[in-house]
């Protein structure tokens, strides 16, 4: 089996009770069948507590006030403390915040943006992300319908996208436009069963002038301010249509929209520039994160453009969450707020498969979220 991880993966360390949030509240923790069987046979006080605090039908830990039944007042896990350490965890708790994408013969592991400690590594480190590869003797799992040819092309395209995105000589908006257009063009070849033509497409996007070309294209965009506003509002509307995982999320979104709208109307100019608070490097690190994590999953859905749109829309929405706070605080918001906003976003969107699918589906509306409209938001 082969493995790929981002270079900051090994730097992760859980901050435990010092964590500004906790991964044991705000969502249902699903228990895998192996752990469930183990919990059923555990004896003593921990065994008794497990019997009462597991919803055996849903296979989840019970929650009180949105918090896991085993999360104590110090935000520490009683199951860990009283059940003999990490071996007492179920798979979800043992793995989090590691996120695993499985492909035939390859496991890609990232750290989830929803964990504050991981989000700091993802967003606040300026080093361009590198990816490390390893291999062990574990046998590859068989995926009978795995489309290797498509996967190879997706991997090649993603490699080129990351290369374009990390070319810091160019403005972020031109780099982002180039990778979105590349995914769009690749999708056309996937839809026409013309993947044999993918290599010449990748060669075209490898040209040194590609970002300059997109910079000019963005400069000559014919999209009105009202249209741009409509697309931005459309992205927020998508968020509002997703299932809510934390009870304060939709109220927070309403406040954000109100702040953004009022600022547009009042034309207020906060003191510190927004690009100092949410930098191009942060935007790059986020987009690299989303593309690395999700793009190659298109081998299962055949929707490479959808994965890219989901990635870019996520970065743009997180940027707007930060912008609202920047406006609300008259520019005095700290750069650390980007970490908080990214975590909140990830907890709502990334941790629900239903939400990810719905968002990808709604972004598929080319009338509302076509190339030009998305370009206009950059």
Interatomic CA distance for residues 289 and 338, integer angstroms: 15
* Interaction residues for ligand SF4, span 22-61 (CB under 6 A): 22-23
DSSP 185-200: HHHHHHHTT-GGGHHH
In eight-state DSSP terms, residue 86 is G
- CB-wise, 18 or 266, nearer to ligand SF4? 18
Binding mask 71-110 for ligand SF4 (x = CB under 6 A): -------------------------xx-------------
- CB-wise, 21 or 284, nearer to ligand SF4? 21
- CB-wise, 115 or 316, nearer to ligand SF4? 115
Q: How many other C-beta atoms are found inside a 10 Å radius of the C-beta of residue 150?
A: 18
Residue 14 has, within 13 A of its CA and on its CB side, a CA count of 16
φ, ψ dihedrals at 71, nearest 5°: -85, 120
DSSP 126-181: -SPP-EEEEE-SPPPPP-TT--HHHHHHHHHHHHHHHHHHT-TTS-HHHHHHHHHH
Which of 1, 19, 36, 218 touches ligand SF4 (CB under 6 A)? 19
Shortest CB 24 distance to ligand SF4, Å: 7
DSSP 3-42: EEEETTGGG----GGG-SS-TTBSS--BPPHHHHHHHHT-
* Interaction residues for ligand SF4, span 258-297 (CB under 6 A): none
Which of 88, 90, 117, 362 touches ligand SF4 (CB under 6 A)? 117
* Interaction residues for ligand SF4, span 303-362 (CB under 6 A): none
State which H helix or E strand residue 107 sits in: strand 106-111
Piece of 101-109, 111-119, 223-231, 255-263 that binds ligand SF4 (CB under 6 A): 111-119
Shortest CB 38 distance to ligand SF4, Å: 22
Radius of gyration of the chain (CA): 22
Interatomic CA distance for residues 253 and 261, integer angstroms: 12
Shortest CB 123 distance to ligand SF4, Å: 14
Shortest CB 124 distance to ligand SF4, Å: 14
Asked if 193 and 161 count as a contact pair (C-beta separation under 8 A), the reply is no
Tokens of 34: 């192996």
Give yes or no for residue 15 binding ligand SF4 (CB under 6 A): yes
Shortest CB 92 distance to ligand SF4, Å: 11
Piece of 48-56, 115-123, 169-177, 189-197 that binds ligand SF4 (CB under 6 A): 115-123
Shortest CB 80 distance to ligand SF4, Å: 11
Distances from the Cα of 8 to the Cαs of 75, 118, 123, 124, in angstroms?
Answer: 26, 9, 11, 11
- CB-wise, 22 or 335, nearer to ligand SF4? 22
Piece of 12-20, 233-241, 247-255, 281-289 that binds ligand SF4 (CB under 6 A): 12-20
Give yes or no for residue 134 binding ligand SF4 (CB under 6 A): no
| Binding-residue total with ligand SF4 (CB under 6 A) | 12
* Interaction residues for ligand SF4, span 230-259 (CB under 6 A): none
- CB-wise, 99 or 309, nearer to ligand SF4? 99
Tokens 């005095």 sit at which residue?
332
Interatomic CA distance for residues 161 and 202, integer angstroms: 10
- CB-wise, 80 or 146, nearer to ligand SF4? 80
Which of 29, 68, 90, 115 touches ligand SF4 (CB under 6 A)? 115
Shortest CB 204 distance to ligand SF4, Å: 41
Give yes or no for residue 21 binding ligand SF4 (CB under 6 A): yes
Q: How many other C-beta atoms are found inside a 10 Å radius of the C-beta of residue 370?
A: 13
Binding interface with ligand SF4 (CB under 6 A): 14-16, 19, 21-23, 96-97, 115-117
């Amino acid at each position: 089996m082969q493995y790929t991880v981002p270079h900051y993966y090994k730097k992760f360390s859980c901050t435990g009770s010092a964590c500004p949030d906790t991964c044991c509240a705000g969502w249902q923790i699903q228990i895998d069948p192996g752990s469930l069987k183990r919990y059923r046979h555990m004896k003593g006080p921990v065994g008794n507590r497990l019997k009462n605090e597991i919803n055996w039908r849903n296979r989840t830990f019970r929650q009180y006030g949105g918090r896991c039944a085993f999360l104590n007042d110090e935000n520490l896990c009683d199951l860990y403390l009283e059940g003999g350490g990490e071996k007492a965890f179920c798979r979800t708790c043992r793995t989090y915040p590691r996120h695993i994408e499985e492909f035939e013969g390859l496991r890609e592991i990232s750290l989830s943006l929803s964990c504050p400690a991981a989000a700091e590594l993802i967003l606040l480190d300026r080093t361009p992300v590198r990816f490390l590869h390893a291999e062990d003797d574990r046998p590859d799992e068989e995926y009978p319908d795995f489309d290797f040819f498509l996967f190879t092309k997706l991997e090649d395209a993603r490699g080129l996208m990351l290369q374009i995105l990390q070319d810091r000589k160019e403005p972020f908006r031109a780099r982002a436009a180039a990778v979105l257009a590349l995914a769009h063009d690749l999708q056309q070849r996937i839809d026409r069963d013309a993947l044999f033509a993918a290599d010449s497409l990748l060669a075209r996007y490898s040209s040194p002038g590609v970002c300059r070309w997109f910079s000019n294209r963005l400069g000559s965009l014919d999209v009105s301010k009202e249209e741009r506003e409509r697309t931005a509002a459309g992205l927020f509307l998508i968020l509002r249509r997703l299932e809510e995982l934390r009870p304060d999320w939709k109220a927070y979104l309403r406040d954000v929209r109100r702040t953004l709208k009022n600022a547009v109307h009042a034309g207020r100019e906060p003191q510190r520039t927004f690009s100092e608070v949410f930098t191009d490097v942060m935007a790059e690190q986020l987009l690299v994160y989303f593309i690395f994590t999700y793009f190659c999953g298109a081998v299962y859905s055949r929707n490479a453009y959808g994965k890219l749109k989901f990635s870019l829309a996520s970065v743009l929405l997180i940027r707007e969450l930060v912008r609202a706070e920047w406006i609300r605080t008259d520019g005095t918001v700290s750069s650390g707020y980007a970490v908080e906003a990214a975590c909140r976003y990830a907890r709502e969107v990334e941790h629900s498969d239903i939400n990810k699918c719905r968002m990808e589906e709604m972004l598929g509306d080319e009338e509302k979220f076509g190339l030009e409209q998305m370009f206009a938001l950059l």
